[in-house]
Amino acid sequence: MNLVSKLEYEMQPLQKENIRLSKLLRSYAIDLINSGLPDFYSLEVNISPDAENSMIECDTKLITRAINNLVQNSIHSNPKGCTIILSLQIAESKLLLIVQDNGIGVSAEKLEELKNKPHYMESTDDRLDLRHGLGLLLVRQIIEAHHGTIEIESRLQEGYKTNIYFY
């Protein structure tokens, strides 16, 4: 929570540099696979040609941490495995980073909780072990510190998707 507090009160000095987000995504994916991603998870990286050379000014460690939090949510929420997709594209003149999975997703009620409450919550559905939301506050604050926005989408049994827009 220390980083969350620092970001919330703008006390975290950002170490910004211009980077190609496509390169960061590929490096992250390679590191994740090399760290021993279990076989029942697959990881895809899809970068559209128009986003390939897009540069953003960002704190590389913080953006990597935000991506990792979202990927780890997918892993923890889908213990039987899933496909995780990292995508980068240009949408309406904005750079769009998408982290999604084809796992169990969350109910409409849980999705509203995640959108409206900025903290981690346990699942209210006793039949499912849903843990999406772990670190979501931190992800939001990291993205907002980089002048971006975040949107989440999900449906039960249809996966979970986070859209991150950089302006």
User: Any idea what the CATH number is for the domain that residue 50 is in?
Assistant: 3.30.565.10
- 44 or 135: whose pLDDT is higher? 44
Distance of CA 14 to the CA centre of its chain: 19
What CA–CA distance (Å, rounded) separates 129 from 144? 29
pLDDT digits (tens, 9 = 90+) for 104-138: 999 999 888 887 765 544 444 444 444 444 488 89
**Mean pLDDT, to the nearest integer, of 138-165?**
95
DSSP one-letter code for 92: T
**Residues with Cβ < 8 Å from 73, sequence gap 6 or more?**
131, 132, 133, 134, 135, 136, 160
**Model confidence, pTM:** 0.84
Average pLDDT across the chain, whole number:
87
**Percent of the chain at pLDDT exceeding 90:** 75
The number of folded domains in the chain is 1
133: left (phi over 0), alpha (psi -120 to 50) or beta: left
Q: Where are the alpha helices (DSSP H) in the chain?
A: 2-8, 21-34, 60-77, 108-116, 136-145
60-112 tens-digit pLDDT: 999 999 999 999 999 999 999 999 999 999 999 999 999 999 999 999 998 88
Under 8 Å between Cβ of 131 and 77: yes
- In 3D space, the residue among 153, 163, 148, 124 whose CA is nearest the CA of residue 16 turns out to be 148
**Which range among 19-28, 111-120, 121-130, 154-163 shows the weakest confidence by mean pLDDT?**
121-130
pLDDT of residue 113: 84
Measured between alpha carbons, how far is residue 105 from residues 14, 73, 91, 149 in Å?
A: 33, 11, 24, 21
The b/e string for 1-34 (b: 16+ C-beta within 10 A; e otherwise) is eeebeebeeeebeeeeeebbbbebbeebbeebee
Tell me the C-alpha distance between 34 and 54, whole Å: 26
Q: Of 130, 88, 89, whose CA–CA distance to 108 is shortest?
A: 130
By residue range, what is the domain housing residue 100? 2-166
